[in-house]
Amino acid sequence: MVVRLRLARFGARNRPLYNIVVAQARTARNSKPMEVIGTYDPIPKPSHDGDGKPFKDIQLDVTRAKYWLGVGAQPSDPVWRLLAMFGLIEPQWKIARIEAQREDKAVYEKVQKVKIIPDAAAKQASSTTANS
């Protein structure tokens, strides 16, 4: 049986919260998984400084995710998207968009807007080393 990395829905009605789980593909969505490796809160929280884009939180045990990918666990589409943000796999959706860009310039611009801000602490460390 296939082992999948997928989401298990928690929370309440209209208030979803997801566990990122490792489970056998044919088991029920919320059945007890082999492992819980993270959480995903899809409801955007307003940013703390009042303006700017709202936040969504993702928690992930990266080492365990790497391990499960290494042994052949297959991520579902939403989990693929999340893992791609952590840089664990090539972003699927982006490839599709890049292919589409030839026809649709607007979509291409949308893709260009996506940027990854590196770790704040790492940025600080790099700046201090640059200064010294």
Judged by the rule CB under 8 A, the positions of this chain that interact with another protein are: 10-11, 17, 19, 21, 30, 32, 35-39, 44, 47-48, 52-62, 64, 85-86, 110, 113-121
Distance between CA atoms of 67 and 78, rounded to whole angstroms? 19
Least distance in angstroms from the C-beta of 99 to another protein: 19
Least distance in angstroms from the C-beta of 126 to another protein: 14
Distance between CA atoms of 117 and 109, rounded to whole angstroms? 18
- Is 26 or 115 the residue whose CB approaches another protein more closely? 115
- Which residues, at least 6 apart from 63, have a Cβ–Cβ distance to it below 8 Å? none
Pick the closest to residue 58 from 116, 114, 87, 19 (CA basis). Answer: 19
- Is 39 or 74 the residue whose CB approaches another protein more closely? 39
Least distance in angstroms from the C-beta of 8 to another protein: 8
